[in-house]
């Protein structure tokens, strides 16, 4: 049975606001009123206030004295900084995973199911297996702090994959990573992970800079 992650309301609110900022639904320097957001999202003010706090720590908004917020300009530098760090930590995690090499049955299974989902064009399923694969690799790093930071970063800037070509290529890399963990090849695992994260980076830059054309 899969573990169910129950995320508190503030995290859900934060995720929704993040998406809106990244996709440009909220413009740079737009004023976000606490009442208005709570009303639009259909939740009470407290989780919205806490969510804005989280986004402020991530550099996405600036909190105003009355607990409302202003949307920061999301620059390409901001996204590059994020992916530089994520790449560093993901590489470290898979390096450690390949050194310790745990039981890869579940990882293999997730890769297979992700492929199936891809062929059926069921991207909701694909995205579930995609995040599951990464979660298992983080756990294999046997470093809870690393796992926690990676999970935090994933939530900060993750955009689901809805293009078959991208999804298949991404899952091909997942399978290579699993092979590296099984064969205890930490250096190669690092390289595969590096290009894998780089793919997400380019995808997000693309979305950010062309979101208006897509919407």
Q: Which residues bind other proteins (CB under 8 A)?
A: 50, 53-54, 57-59, 78, 81-82, 84-85, 88-89, 92, 143-146, 148-149, 152
Q: Give least dist CB 138 to other proteins, A.
A: 12
Q: Give least dist CB 213 to other proteins, A.
A: 27
Residue closer to other proteins, measured from CB, 127 or 141? 141
Q: Give least dist CB 182 to other proteins, A.
A: 24
Residue closer to other proteins, measured from CB, 18 or 174? 18
Distances in Å between the Cα of 29 and the Cα atoms of 71, 73, 76, 123, 185 are 5, 7, 16, 33, 47
Q: Give least dist CB 20 to other proteins, A.
A: 20
Residue closer to other proteins, measured from CB, 144 or 195? 144
The two structure tokens encoding residue 126: 């694909």
* The residue to which tokens 């908004």 are assigned: 61
Residue closer to other proteins, measured from CB, 67 or 199? 67
Q: Is the dihedral of CA 138, 143, 146, 149 positive or negative?
A: positive
Residues whose CB is less than 8 angstroms from the CB of residue 116 and which lie 6 or more positions away in sequence, other chains included? none
* First-last CA distance in the chain: 37
């Amino acid at each position: 049975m899969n573990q169910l992650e129950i995320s508190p309301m503030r995290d859900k609110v934060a995720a929704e606001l993040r998406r809106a900022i990244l996709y440009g639904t909220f413009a740079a320097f737009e004023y976000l009123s606490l009442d208005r957001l709570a009303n639009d999202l259909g939740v009470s003010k407290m989780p919205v206030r806490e969510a804005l706090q989280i986004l402020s720590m991530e550099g996405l908004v600036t909190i105003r004295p009355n607990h409302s917020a202003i949307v920061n300009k999301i620059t390409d530098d901001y996204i590059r900084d994020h992916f530089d760090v994520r790449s560093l930590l993901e590489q470290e995690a898979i390096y450690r995973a390949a050194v310790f090499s745990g039981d890869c049955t579940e990882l293999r299974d997730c890769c297979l199911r992700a492929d199936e989902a891809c062929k059926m064009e069921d991207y909701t399923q694909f995205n579930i297996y995609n995040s599951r694969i990464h979660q298992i690799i983080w756990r294999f790093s046997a470093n809870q702090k690393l796992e926690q930071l990676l999970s935090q970063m994933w939530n900060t800037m993750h955009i689901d994959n809805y293009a078959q070509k991208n999804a298949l290529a991404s899952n091909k890399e997942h399978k290579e990573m699993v092979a590296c963990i099984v064969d205890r090849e930490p250096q190669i695992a690092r390289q595969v992970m590096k290009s894998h994260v780089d793919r997400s980076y380019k995808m997000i830059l693309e979305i950010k800079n062309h979101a208006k054309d897509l919407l």
